[in-house]
Structure 1
Amino acid sequence: MPWLLSSQVEHLSSSPSQRQCERTSFSFYCAVREQLPVWQLEDMRRMEVFSWEDGRPRAFLPSEALLYALVHDHQDYARYLLNKYSVSALMPPRCSFCCRRSSGAQHLTVAVRYNRVSILSMMVAVLKDCHVGEDFLDSRDGCSHEADAGKTAVQLAVELSRPDCLLLLLVHGALPTGLDAALQRLVSSDNLDRRCAQRCLDFLLLYLPKPPALCCLQEEPHRWQSLLGNEMFSWLCGLAPPPLLLQALRCLARSGPDQITALPDFLQLHSWQ
């Protein structure tokens, strides 16, 4: 529980050894937050005891250290952990509340929530190299005590309007789920957030093999037709083939995220109305 003050820790644990673990855990958290050099952080992680598990102390796991690196955007430390420990650095640690091993891709959802695009790129590259990408990318954050329980990284990226994170996930094979949520996010966003919400919708449409049945389009056709344009609205309703611009950009998207993001504004998907 690194976010607790040392004075609060005293009231949580009766065991002196456990209290010492909590203090050193907080010290490690602060060290990552201060962006200390990688060698120094690794010396702390391996040579000191930070965590209390099953009634005894143990050293911090690489996957736990990677979560700290994500929260504080320590890119050098994240790169080191992923290069040295590969996919094992992405294994979810135990939940601090129920002490059960979490399931799903907790590191991916944390990266999306904090908008850590650079570290997310490192993680999906490791998953691709280890040939476990698609299953891992589409897994849901497992433990009910976690903030994003039951959500995939793609769903969270749509909900939080994180277009850069979303594009990275889709390019590496994540399923383009959450179209209904993307549409609702678009209409509920204010002017500052609407562009990000629009880009999330655009990216989902790029990787969507076929339009799902969406009740909102049938219930308010005039509203959505004005927002999406005639061609896109007709395709999503199953009344017409996909627009030519969408088909062309899908071919370009297979080359990688840089090809789409480098397009001039008049060729971005939101301009086809």
Structure 2
Amino acid sequence: MPWLLSSQLDCLSSSPSQRECERTAFSFYCAVRERLPVWLLEDMRSMEVFCWEDGHPRAFLPSEALLYALVHDHQDYARYLLNRYSVTALKAPRCSFCCSRGSGAPHLNMAVRYNRVAILGMMVEALKDCDVQGQRREYLDSCGGCAHVADAGKTAVQLAVELSHSDCLLLLLIQGARPDGLDGALQRLVSCDVSNRRNAQRCLDFLLLFLPKPPLLRHLQDEPQRWQSLLGKDVFSWLCGLAPPPLLLQSLQCLARAGPDQIGMLPDYLQLHNWQ
């Protein structure tokens, strides 16, 4: 893979055939980076690009090509792969570091990390092709992948909260992803700089909007003045278990359940920050 260190490549490149596989994979990576036409990329992937696996070359998979499209925001190629191969393009590829079979939802996490909102939307649409609703939700709530990967152990929702990628978060929540990470959202709101404050606040608001019932966060009472200034008195009291949710929040929660795609179209005086 092109993101391996040169020292790792030296260890991996043990034969001319393996080095040729690495060369073709890197050429393909560069072609996607240059956003070459879809037909040309597919010709390369199906006829010219190979990966080394179990001592033999194999064809480059659509799921691996989709990772490249995500990194370089090649939306046309991502659209083609998802339309042509559907959920097959979302299968976790085999890990090149530990050689284990892929697991989790690395494509979702990568889309969130790079803030590829358009491609993430295509991906969650493709997930509608899952035969069982439970499988779709399980995929949305899966973690990133192998233990040595940067986002291992984090769901796409948790990663979106950590990075304050609020548009990605809303898209995932609308599609039924579990709204976890409330503590992380609160800590992010406290620790982020001013330039990220708005998106951190939006992430917290979206989680509150889709939570069926928030956990009682009594530790907020250790610094009541600080948290009340950030959350507003009504939301603070609700999260501490001292009062019901604000009326506007209850109304927006009903709207989110009935038609969540309409949330972003509300007039400014009904936007989320006004419940504070």
Provide, for residues 69-115 of structure 1, a one-character-per-residue CA deviation record: whole Å limited to 9, x for no partner.
00001111111111111111100011111010121111000000000
**Alignment match, 1:77:** 77
> TM-score by structure 1 length?
0.95
- How many pairs were matched up? 273
Residue of 182, 186, 205 corresponding to 2:208: 205
* Distance across 2 between alignment mates of 1:85 and 1:104: 18
* Larger displacement relative to structure 2 (73-82 or 262-271): 262-271
Shift of 1:230: 1.3
Provide, for residues 1-55 of structure 1, a one-character-per-residue CA deviation record: whole Å limited to 9, x for no partner.
1235999956751300100110100000000001011110011001024210000
Shift of 1:239: 1.5
* Distance across 2 between alignment mates of 1:10 and 1:210: 52
* Distance across 2 between alignment mates of 1:256 and 1:148: 31
Distance 1:85 1:11, change over 3 A: same
* Larger displacement relative to structure 2 (72-81 or 211-220): 211-220
**Alignment match, 1:220:** 223
**Alignment match, 1:109:** 109
* Distance across 1 between alignment mates of 2:211 and 2:58: 45
* Distance across 2 between alignment mates of 1:44 and 1:5: 24
Question: Is structure 2 residue 25 aligned with structure 1 residue 25?
Answer: yes
* Distance across 2 between alignment mates of 1:3 and 1:140: 21
Distance 1:12 1:139, change over 3 A: closer
Paired amino acid for 1:219: D
Contact in 2 for aligned 1:90/1:107 (Cα 8 Å): yes
Shift of 1:220: 1.5
RMSD (Å) for aligned C-alpha atoms: 1.8
Provide, for residues 171-195 of structure 1, a one-character-per-residue CA deviation record: whole Å limited to 9, x for no partner.
0100100000000100111111000
Q: Unaligned stretches of 5+ in structure 2?
A: none
**Alignment match, 1:246:** 249
* Distance across 1 between alignment mates of 2:242 and 2:11: 64
Q: How does 1:114-263 map to 2 (within 5 A)?
A: 114-130=114-130, 131=133, 132-263=135-266
Query: Secondary structure of 2:173's match?
Result: helix
> TM-score by structure 2 length?
0.94
Paired amino acid for 2:126: V
Query: Secondary structure of 1:254's match?
Result: helix
Shift of 1:262: 2.1
**Alignment match, 1:96:** 96
* Distance across 2 between alignment mates of 1:62 and 1:4: 20
* Sequence identity percentage: 78
Distance 1:269 1:52, change over 3 A: same
Paired amino acid for 1:55: G
Question: Is structure 2 residue 276 aligned with structure 1 residue 265?
Answer: no
* Larger displacement relative to structure 2 (122-131 or 40-49): 122-131
